[in-house]
Structure 1
């Protein structure tokens, strides 16, 4: 196996493992709440994924860029920070990690808490849920694209900003839409037997939000930089960003 192939598998492993732990916490909060009769309150349930993302950026950002979300990968690719040819493998790794986490929750606790499936608040209109998921995802992708400049997506600035945004979005919008912002997180519990809200909302909403964040990033920050490309792809195999000034699609691996 070549160095490039080893680096590619390392990046995919990082995405799979990272998404596993993110979904284990994000979906697991609802499961444990169901098992324990409500001992996990909503504030704890929505802050926990933000803290996990913060920790995972510190842990995995240097390896894979710590996307952990198909919508993030799509946003990075559309922005020009990430090669389109790597998108399918990244998304597959994220889905595999998410499904594995939901499978572990199902094996341990059955269908308690509907395996942590994402669902709207009682009586909330589907259209409002979709619009909110789009807006929340737009904000999340804007934060991610903004903090990736200067390789900060593998440092404390991005970890704090992104983790903080996820927690904040959950605190105020969780009772309305569940504040998923991640197709893998919402799809996995359904695939292993959970029953949530209208699944299309949680698959399409984050992707639409990611798409809207890309032109907004051009308005706010101008053309993509080599440093941001470095942050989106991780440092594994690539070296310091100033050693790789080319566009992402010209990189090997």
Structure 2
């Protein structure tokens, strides 16, 4: 086995583990709240934001911490991710989401009333627009904090996690705030509930592509690179202030 094949092997494992726990804990908070009523809606929002943040910091340096087929597709389109690795990442993310959903199904007595997937509450058009908008914002933030070396890289996980938290707060009651086809496909497959699933495949993908495109429009600057990267590290900036 060549060295780059070993690297890819570890990346896929990291992506599976990260996606598995994102879906397990995020959807798990929904199940627990519907069955026991102990988490509350704000609690669900916090769980989604925190688990993504934790897993970004845990495996982001190994796999890139996509956990989301739409994000991976967008990275590939804008040449931030190898196109040859795209199918493996998407398969890994979907399999991880199905495994996490299956785990929840086995651990809890999940009925139709306790469904932990995503379903549109209003019209399909409303849900689609919401998913496009919140996915746009998510990818816009990811592009800013994770692909631009002028950003404060150490805070990327916090920024992405907080974006998800805010999106779930606003769009959660309307669409379930998926932003992630794998997050919706996993529960749908396990529970055999496919109503409106196309919304959560098409919407996030359109939104993330538009979000990545929008950030690329404003990415460039006339300032020299050495000047704009002076404050790219919060920790380095703080250490310089302390030493001086």
TM-score, scaled to structure 2: 0.85
Q: 1:190 to 1:96 in 2, by over 3 A?
A: same
Distance 1:76 1:99 in 2: 23
On the 8 A contact 2:35/2:114 being kept in 1, the answer is no
Whole-Å Cα distance in 2 between the matches of residues 71 and 30 of structure 1? 22
Q: CA deviation at 1:79?
A: 1.3
In structure 1, the gaps of 5 or more residues are: 224-253
2:21 maps to which residue?
Answer: 21
CA, structure 1 residues 7+152, in 2 after alignment: closer, same or farther (shift >3 Å)?
farther
Matches within 5 A, 1:155-174: 155-174=153-172
Q: How many residues align?
A: 220
**Contact 1:114 1:194 (8 Å CA) reproduced:** no
Higher relative contact order (CA 8 A, sep 6+): 1
Q: Offset at 1:17?
A: 0.5
Indicate yes or no: 2:101 matched with 1:102. yes
The list of structure 1 runs, each at least 4 consecutive aligned residues, that deviate by more than 4 angstroms after superposition, is none
Deviations 1:131-170 (A, max 9, x none): 01001001100100111122969x5311011000000111
| Contact in 2 for aligned 1:114/1:195 (Cα 8 Å) | no
2:120 and 2:176 in contact (8 A); partners too? yes
What is residue 74 of structure 2 aligned with on the other side?
75
Q: TM-score, with normalisation over the residues of structure 1?
A: 0.82
- 1:39 aligned partner: 38
Structure 2 unaligned regions, length at least 5: 222-244
The structure with the largest alpha-carbon Rg is 2
The structural deviation recorded for 1:196 is: 6.6
Q: Cα RMSD over matched residues?
A: 2.0
